[in-house]
Amino acid sequence: MEILIVQILNSIFQAASLFLLAAGLSLIYGVMRIVNLAHGNFYAFGAYVSAWTVGAAVALAASRGINLGVAGQLVLLPLGALAVAALGAIVEPTLLRPLYRRPEEYILLITFGLLMVLEDVIRLVFGGTPLTAGSIMDAMGSIPIGGLLYPAYNLVVVGVGVVAAIGLWLFVYRTRFGVILRATSQDRRMAAALGLNVGRVYIQAFAIGCFLAGLGGAVVVPAQAAVLGMGVDALVQAFVVIVIGGLGSLEGALVGALIVSAVRTAGVQFFAEIELAVLYLIAVAVLLWRPTGLFGRA
Amino acid sequence: MAILQTIELKRYFGDTRAVDNVNLSVNEGEFVSLVGPNGAGKTSLINVITAHLKAGSGKILFQGRDITDLSVTERVRLGIARSFQLVNVFDDLSAFDNVALAIFSREGKTAHLSALAHRDHAVIAEADDILSQFGLAAKRDDNARDLSQGERKLLDVALAYALKPKLLFLDEPTSGVSTRNKAAIMDTIASVVRGRGITAVIVEHDMDVVFKYSDRIVVMAQGTVMAQGTPDEIRSNEQVAMALLGTSGPAAFDQHSLPQSGPQKG
Amino acid sequence: MPTARTGPSFLWLLAGGVPVVVVLAVLPPFIGVYQTQQLTYGLAFAIAALGFNLLLGYTGLLSFGHSAYFGAGAYAVAFIIQRLHVHSLELCILGAMLGAMLVSALFGYACVRHTRIFFGILTLALSQVLYSLALKFFWVTGGTDGLRASWNGLTLLGGLIDFKGSGAYRRFVVSYYYYVLGLFVVAVLIMWVIVHSPFGKALQAIRDNETRAGFVGIRVRRYRWIAFIISGLFTGLAGALWVPLNGLTTPEVLYWPFSGEIVFMTVLGGFRTFFGPIIGAVTFNYLKVYAVASSQYWQLVLGTVLVVLVMLLPAGIVGTLGQLANKLRPKQLQQG
C-alpha cells in the first residue's frame, strides 16, 4: 500500500515538471503556431542555471560561515526560469520574427539550429559533469509515509505544479492579458486590426513559454541531476504530452502530463524493456483516434 | 430522362437547415440554373451532391444508381465534376499543368510513375485545345496564382470540363469578375458546355445570365426548392417575384439581379 | 499541333548533369582518400534528402521521422552482414530496401491520414518507437553499441570486387565512391522521372490544393502513401550505403535529431527545387565535418552557421541562386 502511494506521488512529481515543460510548448504553439524544437534545451538550460546558482551560492555562503537554509536555497531556484525567459525575450525578436513571412519550415529550422547551439552552450558554460542542487533535497529531509521515507522536496514540486496549473488557468482565462493572448491565437490579423500590438504579444507569449520550460527544469534539479542531452529527451516527451492532450491546450498539457508520467512510472515497474516504445505508441494511437488530442479543437 | 435525382435530401448544421428535403431532378443534356438569395442552400446542395459534404439523410441517384455513400473521387470517376465559387485551382502549377492533370486523372494515367508527363502528346494536344477553348492559350505557361481573377475562374471551370463529365456543377462561375467580363466568360462557358452536350447545373446571381442561358430554373429558399420552371414561367411567377422582392427590394429585381452581399458584389 | 515549351527537357538535364558527373568521376585521384570518403558520405546523404524532398517539396508533407527509414536501411545491412554472414553488398542493399519499404509502408499508412503539424509529430513519434526498440532489444540491434559492419568482408557487383590484401582500404574507399556515385546517378534519374511523371504532377496538385485534387479524381491518401513509401525507399538506400562507409550503425541514426538533420539538408539546399536537396546534403555534410574537426563545440559552430544561412538564404542555396540569376538577367529578356 505504502509503495503504491509512493509510486503515485512519484508519478505526480514527474508530471509536475513535465506539465510545466509541455504547457510552455503548447502555449507557444497555441499563440504563435511555432513548434519550438529548442524548447527541451530551454528546459535543460533552466535546470543547469538553477543547479549552478544554488550550488555556487551554498558554497559561497559556506566559505563565509553562513548557512543559507532551505528558504534561501528555494528562493534561488527560480533564477533558472528567469534566465530562460530572458533568453526567450531575446530570441523571439532577433531570430524568429524576421522569418514569419517565410514558409513555416524555416522557423522550424531556426529552432533546430538553436537546439544545437544551446546544447553546446550548456556544455561550454557548465562543463560536461552533471550538476545538481541536491543540497535542497538534503536540507529538507524526508517525511514518513507509512513505513517508508519520502523526500519532502518532491511534495514541494507537486505543490508548485498544482499552483502553476491553477495560476496559468487563471492567467489565461481570467486576466486581460489572457484575453489578448487568446484573441491573438485565434486570428492574428484580426487582433492586429483591433489595435493589439501583436509583436509585443508574441514576445511576451514566447518569454512566458520559455519561463515555464525553465521552471520545469529548475524544479527537478534538487531531485535529479542536470545532464547533457536531457533537453532533447525532454522535448520528445513533451511532444507526447501535447499530442495526447491536444496542441495548444493547457488542460490537455495537464492531463497529458499526468497520463505520460503514470505510464512511465508503471512502465518502469512492469514493462521496463519497452517503456518508451509504449509511450510513443500511446501517442500514435491517440493521434489516429483523435487527431486533435483529448482537449484539442482544430 | 433524369441523369440526377435527389430524394428527400437533407443536411442540417445545428439548427440551420442548409438542405431541407430537396427532391431535385435534372434531365440529360439540360442547362439548369439554381437561384435564390444568399443562404438559400444552393452551394450546400451542390456540396452534398458532389460529396464535399456528407448527406444528413436522403438519397442521391446518378443515372439511376445510388451514389449517396460514394466518396468524392468515386463520384468524379462516374462523371460528376464541379467548379468552385471561390477559385480552387493548383496555384503553383502552370495553367497548362492544371488542365493536363485533370486529363491525366480522367485517363487513369496519374498512377504512371515512369512516363514523362511532357512527352504525352495526346494529352498535351487536348490540354492546349481546352486552354484555347477557354481563351487561356496565351497564359498556358503562367502559374495559376499569376492569372487574373477572371482567368482563374475560367481555369477553375476548365479543370472540371477537362474531366469530360456527364454532369457538371458550376458554382457562381462569374462571381468576383467585373461586369464587363461576365458576359464574355458566360458565353465561353455556355458554348463549350453546350457544344459537348454536357448536362450542367449552374449557381448564378445575375438574372440576365440565368434567363439567357437556362433551359430550366430552380429557385431555392431556406434550404428547399420553392419553385422551378422554364425562364418564362419563372419570370411570370408572382410567388418567386414576391420572395425575391421581399428579400432584396424592388431595385434589385428591376435590374434582374438577385440579392448578394459581401465582397462578390460586382 | 502545339510545339511550345511543355516542360523541362531531358536534354537539358543531360547537358547540366553529364559535366557534373564527369567532374565527380575524375575527382578521387586529386583529392585523396579522406576527401573521397567525405564526398561519398555527401552523396549518400544526397540520396536521403532527395527521397525526403519527394514528400516535403512535391507532396507538401514535412516528415520529422525520416531517421526511421535511414536507420531501417542501415540496421538491415549491418544485420545481414554480421548475423547472416552475407558478403555481397547487392544482397545487403536488397534486404535494406525491403526493410525500409516495410517500415515506411507501415508507418506511412498511419501518417498519411494527417497533414501539416500532425503529420510531422506522428512521423516523429513513430520513428522514436523504432529508436527505443533499437535501444532495448540489444540482442538484435546491439543496443547503444550498435552493430558493426566491416567493409573488408564485403564484395561489390556480385563478387567482382573484393577487398583483400595490401592497400585494401584505399581500394575500398575509391571503388566504394564510384559505387555510390553510380547509385546516386541512378537515384537522381529515377527521382527526376518520378517528379515529372503524371504521378509527380498529381503529388504537386495534392500539395497545392488537396480538396481540388480529390475533385479531379485523384485518390489523395493513396497517392500520399505511395509517395511516402518511395521516399522511405530512397532514404533507406542512403542508410544502406552509409553503413559500410561508417563501419557500424548506432541508435544515433534512429534518434530524432538525425531526422532534423535530413530536414535541414533539404531546406538548406532549397526544397522548392529539384537539385536543392542534393546541394544541401553535400554542403551540410562538409559543414558538419569541418565543425566537428574544428572545435570540441561543433554543435555550437554548426548551429550558428545554419541559423545564419537560414537567415541569409530565403529560398535555400539553389533557390536563392535561381532568384539571383533571374535578377541579373538582362532587362529585355525579362520583359520579352
pLDDT at A211: 96
Would residue B214 count as lying in a domain?
A: yes
What is the spatial distance between Cα C205 and Cα C59, in angstroms, rounded to a whole number? 8
Q: Are C269 and C281 in contact (CB under 8 A)?
A: yes
pLDDT at C322: 85
pLDDT at C33: 87
Domain that holds residue C56: 24-255
Closest in B90, B97, B125 to C209, CB measured: B90
Domain that holds residue B194: 2-90+164-264
pLDDT at C49: 97
Contacts of C211 in chain B (CB under 8 A): 52, 88
CA distances from A61 to A2, A53, C139 (A): 38, 12, 51
Angle between helices C256-269 and C116-136 (to 10 degrees): 140
Evaluate the CA torsion angle B232, B237, B241, B244 in order and state its sign: negative
The structural domain count of chain C equals: 1
Would residue B155 count as lying in a domain?
A: no
pLDDT at B253: 42
Would residue C164 count as lying in a domain?
A: yes
> In this complex, is the C-beta atom of A126 within 8 Å of any C-beta atom belonging to chain C?
no
> In this complex, is the C-beta atom of B89 within 8 Å of any C-beta atom belonging to chain C?
yes
pLDDT tier, C330 (very low <50, low <70, confident <90, very high otherwise): low
| pLDDT tens per residue across all 298 residues of chain A | 778 888 888 899 999 999 999 999 999 988 888 889 999 999 999 999 999 999 999 889 888 888 888 888 888 889 999 999 999 999 999 999 988 888 777 888 899 999 999 999 999 999 888 988 888 888 888 888 877 888 888 888 999 999 999 999 998 888 888 888 888 888 888 888 888 888 888 999 999 999 999 999 999 998 888 999 899 889 988 988 988 888 888 889 999 999 999 998 888 777 777 777 888 888 888 878 887 778 876 5
CATH code (residue B23): 3.40.50.300
pLDDT at C1: 35
Helix (H) or strand (E) holding B19: strand B16-22
DSSP strand pairing (B16-22 vs A142-145): unpaired
Taking only the tens place, the pLDDT of each residue in C272-299 is: 899 999 999 999 999 999 988 888 898 8
Chains with ≥3 Cβ pairs under 8 A against A? Answer: C
- How many other β-carbons are positioned within 10 Å of the β-carbon of residue C311? 15
> In this complex, is the C-beta atom of C140 within 8 Å of any C-beta atom belonging to chain B?
no
| Cβ contact C–A (≥3 pairs, < 8 Å) | yes
**Angle at CA of residue B109, ends B106 and B110, nearest 5°:** 90
Would residue C243 count as lying in a domain?
A: yes
> In this complex, is the C-beta atom of C256 within 8 Å of any C-beta atom belonging to chain A?
yes
ipTM score here? 0.84
CA atoms within 13 A on the CB side of A176: 1
Nearest Cα to A7, choosing from A284, A268, A271?
A268
If you average pLDDT over residues C25-42, what whole number do you get?
90
Q: Are C291 and C298 in contact (CB under 8 A)?
A: yes
Which residues fall within 8 angstroms of residue C17, CB to CB, at 6 or more apart?
Answer: C185, C188
Contacts of C197 in chain B (CB under 8 A): 112-117
DSSP class of residue C313?
-
Contacts of A232 in chain C (CB under 8 A): 255-257
Contacts of A120 in chain C (CB under 8 A): 297-300, 303
Would residue B134 count as lying in a domain?
A: no
Would residue C288 count as lying in a domain?
A: no
Mean per-residue pLDDT of chain C? 88
pLDDT at A298: 52
pLDDT at C333: 47
User: In this complex, do C117 and A35 lie within 8 Å of one another by their Cβ atoms?
Assistant: yes
- How many other β-carbons are positioned within 10 Å of the β-carbon of residue B71? 12
Closest in C193, C204, C209 to B88, CB measured: C209
Q: Classify burial at C99, counting beta carbons within 10 Å of its beta carbon; exposed 0-12, middle 13-18, buried 19 or more.
A: buried
Taking only the tens place, the pLDDT of each residue in C157-166 is: 877 787 777 7
Would residue B125 count as lying in a domain?
A: no
- How many other β-carbons are positioned within 10 Å of the β-carbon of residue B260? 17
Q: Tell me the sheet residues that pair with B34.
A: B203, B218
Which residue type sits at A259? I
Looking at chain B, which residue has its C-alpha nearest residue C199? B110
pLDDT at B60: 93
Closest CA–CA distance from residue C27 to any residue of chain B (Å): 32
Strand segments, DSSP code E, in C147-233 are 147-148, 155-156, 161-162
Taking only the tens place, the pLDDT of each residue in C196-235 is: 999 999 999 999 999 999 999 999 999 999 999 999 999 9
Contacts of C269 in chain A (CB under 8 A): none
Looking at chain B, which residue has its C-alpha nearest residue C10? B116
pLDDT at C66: 96
Contacts of A113 in chain C (CB under 8 A): 264, 303-304, 306-307, 310
The structural domain count of chain B equals: 1
Nearest Cα to A184, choosing from A24, A30, A25?
A30
DSSP class of residue A102?
S
Least confident among C30-44, C124-138, C239-253: C124-138
pLDDT at B78: 93
Closest in A98, A124, A240 to C300, CB measured: A124
Q: Are B117 and C196 in contact (CB under 8 A)?
A: yes
pLDDT at B259: 43
What is the spatial distance between Cα C165 and Cα C158, in angstroms, rounded to a whole number? 19
Residues of chain B with pLDDT under 70: 242-266
What is the spatial distance between Cα C92 and Cα A114, in angstroms, rounded to a whole number? 37
> In this complex, is the C-beta atom of C336 within 8 Å of any C-beta atom belonging to chain B?
no
pLDDT at C82: 86
Would residue C225 count as lying in a domain?
A: yes
Would residue B27 count as lying in a domain?
A: yes
Taking only the tens place, the pLDDT of each residue in C121-173 is: 889 888 988 998 888 887 788 777 888 888 877 888 877 787 777 778 888 89
Would residue B194 count as lying in a domain?
A: yes
- How many other β-carbons are positioned within 10 Å of the β-carbon of residue B195? 9
pLDDT at B93: 94
